[in-house]
Structure formats: C-alpha cells, structure tokens
C-alpha cells in the first residue's frame, strides 16, 4: 500500500493538534514540530509553589467541536476527558457594589436580571437571547464551519433568510451600538459588550454580529478535570496513537519552497524534513514578517491588520476573602470606553482595568484562609515587541489591578509568594510576531471576516490553522480552523493521489 503524504505541522497549539490528529487518522505521515517543551500553545500552566495554575484559556465552551472531532477519529470525548458543566456561567461585580450571576439555565438568568434590574430589562434580556441565538445559528454553518467565504460566496450561503437576519441587526452596527439599543441598564450593556473581548476586540469597533459569542457561552461552559492542559494533552496523545510523531523543543526556521510548492521544513538545528504538505499553526504575522523564510511570505496578505488584545496575567496560589467567588468572575471598571481607548487608541496599559479572575478550585470546597489556584487577567495592548512602557509601569498596573479588586470587596495579596506575572512582552516572546496579541487580528469592522487568512494559501501545499486565521480565535474556533485545514489538505491533489494506509504508532520526542 502507498505511504500517505509526508505532512509537517509547525506548532502544537489547538489548531495544529486537531489537524495532526485528523490527518494522521487519515493516513498522512505526520510530524508535528513545537518550539515549547509541551503541546498546547496558549493552553499552558504555570507552577506556583507546586500548584499548577491554568494561565492561558480557562473558559471552555462549544464542547460539540471536540465531540465531533473525536467521533471523526473513531472515539468519544467522554472516554478521554472529564467535563463538568457549570451551573453559574460567571459572576459579575460592579463599582456600585451590585453583583449579577448568569446561569446555564436561561430562565434562571432571566429571573436574576428581573430581580436585579426589573421586569422590563428582563424582557429585553430575553429578546437579546433570541437575537443572539438567531445570529449564532445563521452564521454557524456558512461562516464558522466553512472555509473562509468571499463576499459573494457568503451572500449565497446565507440565502435570503440569513441576509434578512443580518440586516435586522444592521451589519454595519458595532456591538456597543447594538447593546445600547438592546438594554437600558448600562451594566447589562457592559456585561454583554464585553463578549467582544473573547475575540480580542473592542466593543466599540467589533461588529454587532459578535453577540453570537454571548450565545456560545449561554450554550454552556464546562470545567475540565485536570485543567485545560488535559485537553491539549489528550489531543497530543490521540495524534500519537494515530501514528503522528510529536517533536517538542523543535523550532522550524524555514519552510522550503521549490517551483511554487512546499517541499520541506528546516529546523533551527539545521535538520531538514522533506514534506509534501505543511501546516503552519503559528501566528499568520510570522509568515508576513518572513520569520519562516521569504518564499512563504506571499502565503498571507502583505498588509498587517490591527492586532487583537494582549493581556497582563497573574497566576497565584493565594487565599482570597471578602466576596464569594465563582469559577469565572468579572470585576467591571466604571469607565469602560476609557479602557478600550487606552488600549487601542493610546496603546497604553489601561489606567483602570476590568479584571477577570478565574478561581480554579471552584466550584468545590475551598477552606477559608487556605491558598487557592487563581488567575487574574486584564486586557492590554499588543505592543510586546516594542513596549512603550517600563517595568515600573507594569508594577503600577499590578498595584492598580489589585487595589481595584480590593475596592470591589475582593481581598487578594498584592503580591503572593511565587506569583507569576505575564506581560505582552512575555506573550510576544512565546508567540513570535504576535506583539503579544492573543487572538490574532482584531475583529474590528464588519469586513474583518473577509480579511483573516483562510486555511488555503497561494503557496501550493502550505496551509494555515489557528486563532489568527479563519474562523477566528478561542480554543473551539482554533480547533475548527484545524478541522478546516485538515479537510482542505485531505482534498489536495497530493493527498487524493495516495490511498489510505494503516496508521502505525508514533511517539513524542524532545531534542
Ligand atoms: C491568557 C489567555 C487567556 C485566554 N482565554 C481564553 C478562554 O478563556 N477561552 C478560549 O476559548 N480561548 C482563550 N484564549 C485564546 C486561546 O487560547 C487561543 O485562541 C487558542 O488556544 C489558540 O490556538 P492556536 O491553534 O492558534 O495555537 P497557539 O496556542 O497560538 O499555539 C501555536 C504554537 O505554535 C508554536 N510555534 C510557532 N512558531 C513555531 C515554529 N516556527 N516552530 C515550532 N513551533 C512554533 C508556538 O510555540 C505555539 O505553541 C486565551 C488565550 C490566552 C493566552
């Protein structure tokens, strides 16, 4: 039987892992290269006094993406990963002392909004949920599950009904404008406007269609036993079982192209891996900047788009007191627009940020006064390659963040033993060419959907997956991009020319 195409996947982020798994399952001879010593990319933990803190993504949504992936490779998600649905999606705190929980049960959320902001606002909330569901359902097939569409293609895919849905919310409207129409209570405008940040964007520039992100969360949030790295670890293990060879601590420095088609990948060690197909799972910007060689620069549009949000994060193993935390907690700042103006217009750390706190031992027993695993995160500009600030400014941001939490009632030590801080510079070092942007390009303006690169590139045999390409960032979306890339590669001439061989066992190695 013929051997499958030699396929090199550069990057073991979610997109790379998903594609490696799918392709190995289909008989490709897959080698997956990763600069870090662990698979997962942005999914990673930091050790604080022996406690492992999830320090990348923490909100796990759209489990159906992984259900479908595992079914496609002949197994079941529940056989490999323990997921627990959260009954409280998130707890929200405001500067006026008010607090609101959103629940997995929509009726419970509506009742909570009614108690908190009155019956009329609860009716508006119900209307918002209906609208967000409709937008989500309209765009799921034609956009999220499909290769990147052009304008004409999208119009055809949406059909008259889909177009009517989009025009009913005004496709040119921003998410913030939509929230102002939707709610009278500024706190609810802020709560639902914040969903733009799940794509690393400003509510003042993101299109109103991003309200679908709120729907994604209302469809369910799960906690993953063993943390988010259990998810990336599972995919790495399954890819190996399907025959993929995982090489950790290996950096690709050049994607080799001859006569317009990829033919291999060179590592920083000088080793050369011949390849029929290459999938790049790093930042699309790395190709644009020529970090993988000049021959693959044309794989992405030459013009650099606006970067998405970066972040300052603090991983702690510390006691908390003052307010009862849920797993996901948001402490809103009073001047929300000012926060995004600071970041996107003034390119500086927010003077007073909104703070997200993930209490990773909750729900569950947390003994009063005992340390618990916490990650605090504030949005920051993605200028980690040319930071316009000094270390003292990062210290000021830390002091402001923790004193603001204190103001809102959450007492956390300003600096706890072993606390690990990450800045846009740190993220830029780990994700080359990103500037620390955590979600690829910003989803700003209604045309942004057409400007993200798709999985196919103009360079024959070179494909893309990850949060910086279509359909966008976030763990499940990057996973969908991996699926789309795998499908495109399976449909490529080099893949269809060869019959499917039986997969053999692979392995994970470090240099
Ligand atoms: C702090 C933080 C919080 C977040 N919160 C959430 C959340 O709650 N929910 C959510 O869904 N998403 C969240 N996200 C976003 C989510 O983590 C990402 O969108 C997603 O994980 C990106 O996956 P990816 O496929 O783009 O790969 P990435 O995670 O970007 O990984 C790419 C990999 O490629 C490797 N690589 C790059 N170049 C090379 C090379 N030349 N050679 C070898 N290897 C290379 C890198 O080392 C990296 O490991 C968060 C991200 C961060 C950082």
> H/E/C letters for each residue in 105-159?
CHHHHHHHHHHHHCHHHHHHHHHHHHHHHHHHHHHHHHHHCCCCCCHHHHHHHHH
Q: Do 264 and 292 meet the contact criterion of CB atoms below 8 Å apart?
A: no
Name the token pair of 379.
């949005």
- Residue 463: exposed, middle, or buried by beta-carbon count in 10 A (0-12, 13-18, 19+)? buried
Handedness of CA 7, 12, 16, 18 (dihedral sign): positive
Q: Tokens for 272, please give them.
A: 């050369």
pLDDT at 31: 98
Structure tokens at 25: 């399952």
Largest CA distance in the chain: 70
Determine if ligand 1 sits within 6 Å of the CB of residue 193.
no
Ligand 1 atom 52, closest CA: 56
Distance CA 418, CA 49 (A): 6
- Angle subtended at Cα 472 by Cα 424 and Cα 171, rounded to the nearest 5 degrees: 115
Please list the pLDDT of the chain residue by residue as tens digits (511 residues): 468 999 999 999 999 999 999 999 999 999 999 999 999 999 999 999 999 999 999 999 999 999 999 999 999 999 999 999 999 999 999 999 999 999 999 999 999 999 999 999 999 999 999 999 999 999 999 999 999 988 888 888 889 988 888 888 777 899 999 999 999 999 999 999 999 999 999 999 999 999 999 999 999 999 999 999 999 999 999 999 999 999 999 999 999 999 999 999 999 999 999 999 999 999 999 999 999 999 999 999 999 999 999 999 999 999 999 999 999 999 999 999 999 999 999 999 999 999 999 999 999 889 999 999 999 999 999 999 999 999 999 999 999 999 999 999 999 988 888 999 999 999 999 999 999 999 999 999 988 888 999 999 999 999 999 999 999 999 999 999 999 999 999 999 998 877 555 445 566 676 7
Q: State in Å: Cα 438 to ligand 1 middle.
A: 7
Ligand 1 pocket check for 431: Cβ under 6 Å: yes
Question: How high is the pLDDT of residue 167?
Answer: 85
CB contact at 8 A, 60 and 83: yes
Task: Please name the residue whose Cα sits nearest to atom 37 of ligand 1.
Answer: 282
d(CA 65, CA 147): 16
Structure tokens at 435: 């500037």
CA distance readout (Å), 423 to 1, 380, 468: 51, 8, 20
Compute the distance from residue 102 Cα to the ligand 1 centre, in Å. 27
358 alpha carbon – ligand 1 mean position (Å): 18
Q: Please, which residues bridge with residue 460 across strands?
A: 261
Which residue carries 């323990």 as its tokens? 82
Which pLDDT score is estimated for 376? 98
Cα 373 to middle of ligand 1, angstroms: 21
Nearest residue by C-alpha to atom 19 in ligand 1: 474
- DSSP 3-state percent helix, strand, coil across the chain (nearest 5): 40, 20, 40
Instruction: Give me 18's structure tokens.
Output: 């998903």
Tell me, using a 6 A CB cutoff, whether residue 434 lines ligand 1: no
Residue 308 Cβ < 6 Å to ligand 1: no
Q: Which of 41, 268, 463, 480, when mutated, tests ligand 1's pocket best, judged by the most ligand atoms within 8 Å of its CB?
A: 41
Tokens matching residue 179: 């929230």
């Amino acid at each position: 039987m013929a051997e499958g195409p030699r396929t090199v996947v550069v990057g073991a982020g979610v997109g790379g892992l998903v594609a490696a798994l799918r392709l190995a399952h289909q008989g490709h001879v897959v080698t997956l290269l990763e600069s870090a010593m662990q698979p997962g990319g942005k999914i990673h933990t930091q050790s604080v006094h022996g406690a492992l803190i999830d320090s990348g993504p923490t909100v796990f949504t759209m489990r159906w993406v992984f259900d479908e992936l595992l079914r496609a490779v002949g197994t079941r998600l529940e056989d490999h990963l323990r997921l627990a649905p959260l009954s409280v999606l998130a707890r929200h705190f405001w500067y006026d002392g008010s607090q609101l929980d959103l629940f997995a049960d929509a009726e419970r959320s509506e009742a909570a909004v009614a108690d908190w902001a009155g019956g009329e606002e609860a009716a508006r909330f119900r209307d918002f949920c209906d609208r967000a569901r409709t937008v989500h359902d309209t765009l799921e097939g034609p956009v999220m599950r499909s290769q990147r569409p052009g304008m004409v293609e999208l119009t055809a895919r949406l059909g008259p009904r889909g177009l009517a849905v989009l025009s009913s919310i005004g496709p040119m409207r921003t998410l913030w404008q939509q929230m102002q129409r939707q709610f009278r209570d500024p706190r609810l405008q802020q709560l639902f406007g914040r969903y733009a940040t799940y794509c690393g964007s400003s509510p003042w520039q993101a299109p109103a269609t991003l309200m679908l992100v709120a729907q994604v969360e209302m469809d369910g949030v799960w906690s993953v036993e063993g943390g988010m790295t259990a998810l990336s670890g599972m995919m790495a293990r399954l890819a190996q079982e399907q025959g993929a060879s995982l090489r950790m601590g290996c950096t690709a420095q050049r994607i080799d192209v001859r006569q317009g088609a990829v033919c291999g990948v060179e590592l920083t060690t000088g080793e050369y891996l011949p390849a029929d197909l290459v999938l790049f799972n790093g930042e699309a910007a790395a190709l644009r900047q020529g970090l993988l060689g000049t021959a693959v620069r044309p794989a992405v549009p030459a013009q650099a788009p606006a970067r998405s949000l970066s972040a300052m994060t603090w991983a702690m193993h510390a006691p908390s007191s003052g307010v009862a935390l849920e797993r996901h907690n948001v402490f809103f700042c009073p001047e929300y627009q000012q926060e995004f103006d600071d970041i996107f217009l003034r390119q500086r750390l927010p003077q007073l940020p909104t703070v997200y706190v993930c209490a990773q031992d909750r729900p569950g027993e947390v003994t009063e006064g005992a340390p618990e695993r916490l990650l605090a995160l504030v949005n920051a500009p993605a200028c980690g390659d040319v930071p316009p600030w000094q270390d003292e400014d990062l210290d000021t941001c830390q002091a402001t963040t923790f004193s603001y939490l204190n103001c809102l009632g959450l007492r956390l030590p300003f600096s706890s033993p072993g606390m690990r801080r990450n800045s846009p510079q740190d993220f830029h070092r780990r994700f080359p060419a990103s500037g620390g942007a955590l979600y690829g390009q910003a989803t700003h303006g209604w045309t942004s959907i057409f400007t993200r690169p798709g999985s196919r590139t103009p360079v024959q045999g070179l494909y893309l997956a990850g949060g910086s390409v279509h359909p966008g960032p976030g763990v499940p979306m990057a996973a969908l991009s991996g699926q789309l890339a795998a499908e495109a590669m399976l449909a490529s001439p080099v893949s269809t020319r060869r019959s499917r061989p039986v997969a053999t066992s692979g392995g994970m190695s470090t240099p």
